[in-house]
C-alpha cells in the first residue's frame, strides 16, 4: 500500500554526459538542472513502483524545484524523496538533492498513477 511517509533514495556520479554544456541547458561543465530533475523523477518513481498493482505505472505531472548549487564532474549526487500527499491517484513528494558538499536542490514533485496499457493506447491514438 502506498502511504504518506514513503521514502526514496537514488545516487549517481556526475559524468560529462549529464552536464549543462553537453545537454544544451547551459555553457558550463556542471550537473545540469534537467538532469537533476530527471534524478528527482526517477527517485520518486522508483520508490512507488514496487507497491503498484500489476499493469500500473506513474507519470510525472509537475515539478517545482530550485537548483541552488553547482556540482562538478566526478562528484556523487543523490536525491532523497518523501511522499507527503496521496489523493487517490495523485502522489506528491517532497524532494531534496545533494552532492558531497551539501544541498544542491529542493522542492516538490507530483506524479499520477496510471493504467499503463490505457495510457499507451491514448498516446498511440494521439500519434495517428
Q: Which residue has the cell 510525472?
A: 60
Q: Supply the DSSP string of 42-89, one letter for each residue.
A: HHHHHHHGGGSPTTEEEEEEEEEEEE-S--BTT-EEEEEEEEEEEETT
What number does CATH give the domain 7-127?
3.10.129.10
Clarify whether 33 is annotated catalytic. Answer: yes
19, 43, 58, 67: the active-site residue: 67
Do 55 and 9 contact (CB within 8 A), yes or no? no
Overall pTM surpassing 0.85 (yes/no): yes
41, 43, 106, 110: the active-site residue: 41
Note the pLDDT tens digit of each residue in 87-97.
999 999 999 99
The pLDDT, as a whole number, for residue 78 is 99
Q: Can you tell me the distance from the alpha carbon of 95 to that of 73, in angstroms, rounded to the nearest whole number?
A: 22
Note the pLDDT tens digit of each residue in 28-84.
999 999 999 999 999 999 999 999 999 999 999 999 999 999 999 999 999 999 999
Amino acid at each position: 500500500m502506498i502511504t504518506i511517509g514513503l521514502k526514496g533514495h537514488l545516487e549517481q556520479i556526475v559524468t560529462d554526459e549529464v552536464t549543462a554544456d553537453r545537454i544544451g541547458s547551459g555553457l558550463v561543465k556542471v550537473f545540469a538542472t534537467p538532469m537533476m530533475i530527471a534524478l528527482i523523477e526517477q527517485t520518486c518513481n522508483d520508490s512507488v513502483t514496487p507497491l503498484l498493482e500489476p499493469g500500473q505505472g506513474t507519470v510525472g505531472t509537475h515539478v517545482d524545484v530550485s537548483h541552488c548549487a553547482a556540482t562538478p564532474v566526478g562528484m556523487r549526487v543523490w536525491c532523497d524523496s518523501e511522499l507527503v500527499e496521496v489523493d487517490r491517484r495523485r502522489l506528491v513528494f517532497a524532494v531534496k538533492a545533494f552532492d558531497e558538499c551539501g544541498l544542491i536542490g529542493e522542492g516538490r514533485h507530483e506524479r499520477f498513477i496510471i493504467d499503463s496499457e490505457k495510457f499507451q493506447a491514448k498516446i498511440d491514438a494521439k500519434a495517428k
